[in-house]
Amino acid sequence: MKKKKVLFVTPFFPSFVLSDIQILRENFSIRINNYPWQHKILAPAFFVIQFFSVFVNLFRVDVLLTSFGGYWSVWPVLLGKLFRKPSFIILHGTDCASIPELNYGSLRLPLLKWACKISYQHASRLLPVSESLGNVFLDFDPVLIHKSQGIHYHFRDIKTPVTAVYNGFDHKLWPYEAFTKKPPNTFLAVMSAAQYRLKGGDIIEEIAWLRPDLDFKIAGLNALQKPLPPNLQFLGKLSQQELSNAYRSSRYYLQLSTFEGFGCALAEAMLSGCIPIGSSANHIPKIIAGNGLILQKKDRTMLLQAIQQLLSLSKPEEISRKARRHIIKNYSLTRRKETLSTLLNNYEQPN
């Protein structure tokens, strides 16, 4: 059977976007549309250029698929609707949120929010990576002001069909390390510098001061320019192989996010045999699903108690193995490929 042709639009190429392109290429002929939208001063020029690029490619493809909502999703959606070509938008999290106090979320910027609204309103279907991106109340961080988030909270009049398609993971890329082979008392978290408070770097720093007997590492950013506890190490940006090694060298993983579209690093860590402590935000409790602990509030005392509970587990090896099996069963790359392929292949534009 002849492969359908897909115009894949993305503003940048994080690992999960590259993964989507790779798995879709098995069933579709993919054309990439990408401009460096992070250069904000040039965004108006890219917006004009992209119109002509999408217009030309529109007659060469069968489906338009955009990763992340934003300025770059407007023309694929509007032109797709005008010429009756199905258009889908994969939503990842930042494109469903407005949290000004954390400097997070595309929807806190009025013009970008307008672009997202137009895109979401006229797309054929929205594909968030978890159901929580539709509507969620964030009560993990007590000091958070903007607790209600999600596309249906911010855009209450949008009727576009929504299908959650979970991220998927190749377990071969994240090999399991027996729990007993990992150094004891080792904790890992992954975040960028901009996500330090969003993903709980601040409370990890507090706990490191209070528990000098434990070893904490944070991958994804360099050390902050301030006094830090000696048992808190910053690993900087890591390659996939380096990150895998970091997971396999840690017994426990900390996903203490105030808001989390999905939690890819959490799933990777669980595949690698880490036992997690996760926040109660968004989809995190479903990823952990009894194979670790859920912290209900961003509270230092509660986190200290949870850490001590992990350290006192009688059968950690069993939980570690169950965590890996849970991710393989529920968040496989094969499942994501099959779900996306079915949606793109079988969608019929309504009359």
Burial class (CB in 10 A: 0-12, 13-18, 19+), 92: buried
Q: What are the residues whose beta carbons fall under 8 Å from the beta carbon of 180, sequence distance 6 or more?
A: 317
- Position 351 scores a pLDDT of 46
**Residue-range domains of the chain with CATH:** 4-168+333-346 (3.40.50.2000), 171-330 (3.40.50.2000)
- Position 349 scores a pLDDT of 59
Exposure string over 97-110, b if 16+ CB within 10 A, otherwise e: bbbeebebbbbbee
Residue 311 has pLDDT above 50, yes or no: yes
For 55, 175, 256, 269, the CA distances from 288, given in Å and listed in that order, are 43, 18, 12, 11
Task: Report pLDDT digits (tens) over 9-50.
Answer: 999 999 999 999 999 999 999 999 999 999 999 999 999 999
How far apart, in whole angstroms, are the C-alpha atoms of residue 346 and residue 119? Answer: 21
- Position 210 scores a pLDDT of 97
Mean pLDDT for 145-159 is: 96
| % of the chain at pLDDT higher than 90 | 94
Residue 273 has pLDDT above 80, yes or no: yes
Mean pLDDT for 132-152 is: 96
Rg (CA), the chain: 21
348 pLDDT tier (thresholds 50, 70, 90): low
Task: Report pLDDT digits (tens) over 317-338.
Answer: 999 999 999 999 999 999 999 9
pTM: 0.94
Mean pLDDT for 80-93 is: 97
Q: What are the residues whose beta carbons fall under 8 Å from the beta carbon of 14, sequence distance 6 or more?
A: none
Q: What are the residues whose beta carbons fall under 8 Å from the beta carbon of 171, sequence distance 6 or more?
A: 271, 324, 327, 328, 332
- Position 178 scores a pLDDT of 85
Is-contact 134 159, C-beta < 8 A? no
Q: What pairing do the DSSP bridges indicate for beta strands 215-219 and 136-137?
A: unpaired
Which candidate, 141, 74, 129, places its Cα nearest to that of 96?
Answer: 129
Mean pLDDT for 231-254 is: 97
Q: Dmax over Cα atoms in the chain, in whole Å?
A: 65
Mean pLDDT for 43-64 is: 96
- Position 304 scores a pLDDT of 98
- Position 177 scores a pLDDT of 83
How far apart, in whole angstroms, are the C-alpha atoms of residue 155 and residue 150? Answer: 8
Positive or negative CA dihedral for 83, 86, 92, 96?
positive
Residue 263 has pLDDT above 60, yes or no: yes
Mean pLDDT for 44-63 is: 96
How far apart, in whole angstroms, are the C-alpha atoms of residue 110 and residue 128? Answer: 21
